[in-house]
Amino acid sequence: MTLNIDDLVERLAAQPLDRSLDGLELEVSRGIARRRADLNTGSALAPVRVASIGLALAMGVTAGGLAATTTASAPQQFSTFSVSAHLAPSTLLEGEE
C-alpha cells in the first residue's frame, strides 16, 4: 500500500475544522497585553528585589560574624583529634614550636 501525499492532503481538506478560529486575534492581543503588564510589574518590583537581597546579605554577614567571634572567643578544647591541637602530627613535622 503506497501513500500518496496528494490523496492525504485532499482527504484532510475535505474534513471539517475541529475548532473555530473566531476570536483568535483577540486572544493573541490579550496575551501580548498581559505579557507587557507582567514585564512592567517585574520592572517596578526590581528595587524591592535588590533591597531584599541586600537585607538578606547583611543579615547573613552579621550572623556569620557573630558566630565567628563567639567561636573564636570560646575556650578551645585540646584533644587528640581536635583540629586546633598543637600536638597534631602535621605541626610536629614542621619543626616549629
H-assigned helices in 1-97? 5-14, 24-44, 46-73, 89-94
Tens-digit pLDDT string for the chain (97 aa) = 578 898 999 998 898 887 788 888 999 999 999 999 999 988 888 999 999 999 999 999 999 888 888 766 656 666 656 656 565 666 666 555 4
**14 located within any domain:** no
Nearest-10 Cα torsion for 87, 92, 95, 97: 0
Print the domain residue range for 54.
26-66
**83 located within any domain:** no
Q: Count how many domains the chain has.
A: 1
Q: How far apart are the first and last CA of the chain?
A: 93
Is this model's pTM higher than 0.85 or not?
A: no
Question: Cα dist. 81→64, 84, 89 in Å?
Answer: 25, 9, 10
**8 located within any domain:** no
